[in-house]
């Protein structure tokens, strides 16, 4: 209790908490976007339930990883040497996670571009994935993004209560934003392709870091923000064009 009171009275702790909350929310947005993409393939009556389960699992995974911080910190110790390249467990986890994200994004892009797949979708009333399959894929995505989230938390502060509060707050924000974000993505299909491009970029970043090439997160976020701004302009242009056509 005394330890918690000392943290509460420390301005540095509050600054660290605010910074970490913002970082966790930023990292959680990616997770939420892909949860929305997957659940939008389900029948409408199951989508909200799947999103709640997916976000709930994200919280459980993050808290479980926080409980093993000592183990996570030790993951940087070299365990294997391949042709002079040394890998730790953390490196191999990042590479495996990055490969999974690349596979998932490539599969989704192929599905979106394949005319036969689109025909099959229409034949099944737009449903292309089962509930259990969606939950399984959400769980894998949660695992990848949870690792990134917790590694960020461990790197920013050494105080476990601050990490726990930041993670819980970020997941609550995800829960509140899930419905409007999913509706936005469903109403704007081109955003899905943009999000899948983000997924490929994040996957490549994880693989690069697994091989020891550090990629500053600022570059990644700047690229994502620039792409999102361009897509926003495209959306505004499409709406203006549609309005002119209706008025004509």
**Position 126 pLDDT exceeds 50:** no
Tell me the pLDDT band of 125, cut-offs 50, 70 and 90. Answer: very low
Residue 6 CA to residue 38 CA, distance in Å, equals 43
Structure tokens at 96: 């495996």
pLDDT in tens, 201-225: 878 888 888 888 887 767 777 887 8
Lowest average pLDDT, out of 13-17, 72-76, 100-104, 186-190, goes to 72-76
Condensed to tens digits (0 to 9), the pLDDT of residues 161-171 reads 777 787 788 77
Residue from 69, 234, 233 nearest 154 by CA: 69
Higher pLDDT, 154 or 210: 210
Residue 70 clears pLDDT 70, i.e. is over it: no
Q: Which residue has the higher pLDDT, 5 or 36?
A: 36
CA proximity to 65, closest of 191, 164, 169: 164
pLDDT digit string, tens, across residues 80-103? 888 888 888 878 877 887 887 788
In the prediction, which pLDDT does 74 show? 65
Q: Is the pLDDT of residue 34 over 50?
A: yes
CB environment 50-74: b (16+ within 10 A), e (fewer): bbebbbebbbebbbebbeeeeebee
Global confidence as pTM: 0.60
| pLDDT at residue 124, as a whole number | 43
| Res 127: pLDDT | 47
Answer yes or no: is pLDDT of 14 > 80.
Answer: no
Of residues 102 and 24, which shows the higher confidence score? 102
Q: What is the pLDDT of residue 23?
A: 64
Concatenating the DSSP letter of every residue in 145-195 gives HHHHHHHHHHHH-S-HHHHHHHHHHHHHHHHHHHHHHHHHHHH-HHHHHHH
| pLDDT computed for residue 244 by the predictor | 85
- From the number of C-beta atoms within 10 Å of its C-beta (0-12, 13-18, 19+), residue 156 rates as middle
Write down the mean pLDDT value for the chain: 75
Q: Tell me, what's the pLDDT at 47? A: 82
Tens of pLDDT, residue by residue over 172-182, are 877 787 778 77
C-alpha–C-alpha distance, residues 212 and 206, integer Å = 10
Measured in whole angstroms, how far is the alpha carbon of residue 138 from the centre of its chain?
10
Q: What does the pLDDT average to over 115-140?
A: 62
Burial status of residue 13 (CB atoms within 10 A of its CB: 0-12, 13-18, 19 or more): middle
Q: CA 27 to CA 166: how far, in whole Å?
A: 12
CB atoms within 10 A of CB 221: 11
Percent of the chain, pLDDT > 90?
0
Q: Write the CB contacts of 99 (distance below 8 Å, at least 6 apart in sequence).
A: 203, 207
Q: Determine the 3-state secondary structure of 143 from DSSP.
A: helix
- Residues 61-71, mean pLDDT to the nearest whole number: 72
Taking 70 as the threshold, does the pLDDT of residue 78 lie above it? yes
């Amino acid at each position: 209790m005394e330890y918690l009171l000392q943290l509460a009275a420390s301005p540095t702790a509050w600054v660290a908490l605010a910074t970490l909350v913002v970082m966790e929310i930023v990292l959680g947005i990616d997770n939420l976007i892909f949860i929305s993409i997957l659940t939008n393939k389900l029948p409408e009556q199951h989508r909200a339930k799947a999103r709640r389960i997916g976000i709930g699992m994200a919280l459980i995974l993050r808290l479980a990883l926080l409980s093993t911080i000592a183990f996570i910190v030790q993951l940087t110790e070299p365990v294997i040497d391949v042709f002079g390249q040394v890998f730790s467990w953390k490196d191999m986890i990042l590479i495996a996670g990055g490969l999974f994200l690349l596979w998932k994004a490539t599969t989704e892009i192929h599905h979106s571009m394949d005319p036969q797949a689109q025909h099959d979708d229409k034949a099944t009333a737009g449903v292309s994935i089962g509930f259990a399959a969606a939950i399984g894929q959400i769980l894998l995505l949660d695992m990848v993004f949870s690792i990134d989230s917790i590694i960020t938390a461990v790197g920013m502060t050494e105080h476990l209560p601050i990490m726990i509060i930041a993670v819980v707050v970020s997941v609550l924000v995800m829960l509140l934003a899930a419905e409007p974000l999913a509706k936005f993505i469903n109403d704007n299909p081109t955003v899905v392709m943009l999000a899948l491009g983000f997924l490929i970029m994040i996957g490549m970043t994880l693989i690069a870091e697994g091989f020891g090439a550090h990629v500053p997160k600022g570059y990644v976020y700047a690229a994502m923000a620039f792409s999102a701004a361009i897509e926003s302009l495209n959306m505004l242009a499409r709406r203006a064009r549609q309005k002119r056509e209706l008025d004509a």
